[in-house]
Chain A
């Protein structure tokens, strides 16, 4: 029974000899698919700006990823789609009027510094897209917090005497703040907040508000999130812990001092919370692996987000990016502290 040629030899390998068929590529592709509804919403509300920023970010991310791997003489990693995910997420976290070169600079930072320097996918301690955004927020503070009113954002027709839109217009005539930006300004200036028209909530839910291009439509993001949950790419633990913490924190604040705080549901649909909770606080590489760890991570993100959003002396109106980045740093510790009880060990 001598083998005739190498093709007649049997393959010898370690068990198991069968596999679920899941792959890193498929997981990343699923995230890309899940981001498509939000991309569609971004195109609807921000038109060419959304297309421009998304194209710049994704293209730059892919180019830098390729260049880095080439320079480091490592295998190309373009086919794992992770650079596409980073590009999309970074673009979704940018304001519509941002110059393209700034978006490109953020993408370079995200891929080269926040990811490839550490060794690429799997080794980065911080979410690359969020690290890129933090870099931009510090480097281009003005441009990153200017919300040029998109002509496509519909003027709200039900402008009662004391709604947030009218009051916003009074605060700043040329640029329109985001709901959270407005709330922070009011908090700082000591002006009482207007009474919110509940119809605003629906507008905000569908995405008809100022904000970063991919974060405004909670509805579109939730459709994508439902797909990720269905595909088991993410679990409910982080998003649920995160959203509930923000809601509970905001509810207590609103109960104690309704004049200076916005309603809890408004907190949940505003800013980058839905995008962050479902798409970035669930990033596999930079968040805990245990279920208990995920819950801790979500609660931590929620508390830090609300601290940044509502502490009067804080500089930023929005805190999702920083909250997730700070919790990313705790991920190894959380993993270590929440290991499962080994079968057969003491309860």
Chain B
């Protein structure tokens, strides 16, 4: 076990104001159980889960209420004991309509747990992966990719390096930071389980150098571990937490275009995901709650809350002393990649790492101007794209042209739009272009299966 500076740093990236001090000093606090939970069926990447319960059914905490629906999908469990009040349409954190199971909680919190493997060191790896899948664990950094898929790479893609992502490069967010400070031991166990399952030689814990206390906590937690383990200290630069950029910073390997981390022998797991894996394997608890940072200058008392998935934003804000003054923007996630929502009646999910409320002072509205070819978006793009050119193609509805200049390689990190002096909505253009491409591909597949 050692601490090393990251041997590489990706090119591009930006240095936004981090504003993490608003909530980084607040210890994780458990939210009192809300009387009603709106548990979304789509808390992950892929197909929404299929409900297994009916209105009026009594459920226990941890009980499976919706099953995995396809290969890229994940099951959903009840975060609390109570009664199914409704199965209705709700909004996801990204603002899309999606099915949700509404539970009236009874406060008893009687748990129904999965069969655990406290002696995981001698367990069959397949059983562990199955348990992690059954526990509904998905990537908690934001994308929500089902973890069981990541942990079962095909035989021709051996994994030699596991990277534990503790970069938390999004401004304002501090939930991973607090997890590393307060649950270091569980994160270590989770990391060891991942390493065991994948048979990886190297384990790296990647943390940005603006979180020295988290680095120290991880150093302490991983003391005495055997094998090639190191805390890799990353330069503070957005987006260090992005999977591809982080793999490059830690190993110098570039994930090929259109490829996956497993193509370069790596698996990246968020620190909170490692905690969830530990909780499932040791305690048999499915993923039904997580820590979320409720922060921003329009929140009375910014905090890091441990909340059941399905808690409405309104309940979170109330638990933080309410809105301070007037909130102009409410964002699911951080200010770089988060989604704005139109109301506080939106539930949290497994991927909700932050809820950001900004006052009008922090929210500026711009009129976009013509591109002046300053080239700053090229320098900021961590994928080394030409955002100005792509956005102009999309604006002119030349989607093929945009594809030719690598539209589909965009990771939507927002670095280009952040630096654009003409305030061009570059990411918006990228999203629109990508959506058109995806729709055309789907239509082509339907026509020629």
A27 within 8 A of B: yes
Number of A-B contacts (CB under 8 A): 152
Among B244, B356, B363, B369, the residue within 8 A (CB) of A122 is: B369
Expressed in whole angstroms, the Cα–Cα distance for A1 and B327 within the complex equals 14
B384 within 8 A of A: yes
Cβ–Cβ < 8 Å partners of B378 in chain A: 289-290, 340
Name the segment of B64-72, B184-192, B251-259, B265-273 touching the other chain: B251-259
A24 within 8 A of B: yes
B366-379 near A? 1/0 per residue, CB < 8 Å: 10011111111010
Chain A nearest CB, measured from B434 CB (Å): 13
B residues at A contact (CB < 8 Å)? 10-11, 14, 16-17, 95, 171, 244, 248, 254-257, 259, 314, 326-331, 335-345, 356, 358, 362-366, 369-376, 378, 382-386, 388-389, 405-406, 409, 412, 414, 417-423, 425, 427-428, 431
Cβ–Cβ < 8 Å partners of A24 in chain B: 369, 372, 421-422
A198 within 8 A of B: no
On whether A11 and B329 interact (CB within 8 A), knowing A123-B370, A342-B257, the answer reads yes
B336 and A122 contacting across the interface, CB-CB below 8 Å: no
Expressed in whole angstroms, the Cα–Cα distance for A287 and B375 within the complex equals 10
A119 within 8 A of B: yes
B421 and A345 contacting across the interface, CB-CB below 8 Å: no
Expressed in whole angstroms, the Cα–Cα distance for A325 and B356 within the complex equals 49
Cβ–Cβ < 8 Å partners of B366 in chain A: 19
A339 and B405 contacting across the interface, CB-CB below 8 Å: yes
A14 and B428 contacting across the interface, CB-CB below 8 Å: yes
**Which of B370, B412, B427: most chain A CB closer than 10 A?**
B370
Considering the complex, give the chain A residue whose CB is closest to the CB of B171: A18
B409 and A11 contacting across the interface, CB-CB below 8 Å: no
Q: Tell me the count of chain A residues lying within 8 A, CB to CB, of chain B.
A: 41
Cβ–Cβ < 8 Å partners of A8 in chain B: 326
B421 and A14 contacting across the interface, CB-CB below 8 Å: no
Interface of A is mostly: loop
A107-147 near B? 1/0 per residue, CB < 8 Å: 00000000000011111000000000000000000000000
Chain B nearest CB, measured from A31 CB (Å): 12
Cβ–Cβ < 8 Å partners of A13 in chain B: 329, 340
A15 and B405 contacting across the interface, CB-CB below 8 Å: no
Cβ–Cβ < 8 Å partners of A26 in chain B: 421
B14 and A342 contacting across the interface, CB-CB below 8 Å: no
B374 and A284 contacting across the interface, CB-CB below 8 Å: yes
A343 within 8 A of B: yes
A343 and B254 contacting across the interface, CB-CB below 8 Å: yes
A15 and B336 contacting across the interface, CB-CB below 8 Å: yes
On whether A18 and B16 interact (CB within 8 A), knowing A11-B328, A344-B254, the answer reads yes
A189 within 8 A of B: no
Among B341, B376, B423, the residue within 8 A (CB) of A12 is: B341
Expressed in whole angstroms, the Cα–Cα distance for A15 and B425 within the complex equals 8
Among A122, A339, A345, the residue within 8 A (CB) of B373 is: A122
Beta-carbon contacts under 8 Å, A3-34 to B: 7-20, 22-24, 26-27
Chain B nearest CB, measured from A304 CB (Å): 21
B386 and A289 contacting across the interface, CB-CB below 8 Å: yes
